[in-house]
Amino acid sequence: MSTKVMMPVPQTSGHPAKEVVPKDLISIQDLTPEEVAALMDMTAQIKARPADFRGALAGKQVVMFFEKPSLRTRLTFEAGVNSLGGHAIFVDQTQQRLGERETLADVAHNLERWVDCVILRTFAHSTITGIAEHASIPVINALSDLEHPCQALADFFTLEEKFDDITKVTLTYVGDGNNMAHSLMLTGAALGAKVRIAAPKGYEPLADVTKAAQKIAAETGGKITITNDPVAAVSGADAVYTDVWASMGQEAETEARAKIFAKFQVNEEMMSHAAKHALFMHCLPAHRGSEVTDAVIDSPQSVVFDQAENRLHVQKSILLMLLGGGLRRYRPRSVNV
């Protein structure tokens, strides 16, 4: 493998500079709060001056195995790798899940001989941890049934752009306590934000993930709240977030969930309880008329496409963190050395 490049972490938002040691990104918990903050700073720099990073990953090969359909995740990773000078190889696994044709260990040991990084979008979280266990190269979770770390990092970067001081922000997530809720809690906790999760009884986030997020929040000054009352959760919030009620693989539950989640729809009445300046957020794709109405998602309060754009910038930071030698300071490539 080629020599690693050291990437800059400029002081754009007051976060302390800290070297991030290259490793996998399977869960937000793989990063310390300081590392999450450094990633936010790096993302701001990449977004502001993308030309400085062209060629930073020259010669790097990245393979993407996707068991689920994708628009934002696939294109933002492919565009990100290409713009950094690397090459992305896409493998469609929608017809056969990883581990069915040969063991995850055998797949991992093959991949580590050919490429520099593996990006996985899977159903089972164990598929990602299984590849990571056996591969000597970095593994990135591009979505699993447990977490969606890349999306949550882009979401909080979006909030930092809008509000600057994330420690003063209250984000309310309304809906299923799914992978998105998990990653939002963990990311918000790492950054010292206040995160409220409102879900129907029996659909709350997993207890162990909630406990982990609350432990992190206790160290950073953040706060994690779980409730079954969506109106109380939205009251005074700076941002209101929702996701589909039935994720991919749960289609058979769509009708039943529609009844259970009816009171959790984010509509104009629901948004009226939030702060006047409140933003609306969604990881997309949205089921318009279900978890959110057209009036809300198409309103001036909506930042869903800002979130989508920021997937590109955040994921470039993640790639540099794992393949570029960490988030250490160095002179940008635009400067003659």
Which residues are designated catalytic?
121, 148, 151, 243, 283, 311
- C-alpha distances out from residue 337 to 2, 64, 330, Å: 19, 34, 10
- Token pair of 188, please? 């918000």
Mark 173-194 as b/e (b = at least 16 C-beta within 10 Å).
bbbbbbbbbbbbbbbbbbbbbb
Could you tell me the strand order of the sheet in which 170-174 lies? 223-227, 194-198, 170-174, 239-242, 279-282
Cis upstream peptide for 285 (omega within 30°)? yes
Burial-class residue 101 by CB neighbours within 10 Å (0-12, 13-18, 19+): exposed
Tell me which residue of 196, 139, 123, 190 sits closest to 160, measured CA to CA.
190
Among candidates 152, 123, 121, 119, which has minimal Cα distance to 243?
152
How big, in percent rounded to 5, are the helix, strand and coil portions of the chain? 45, 15, 40
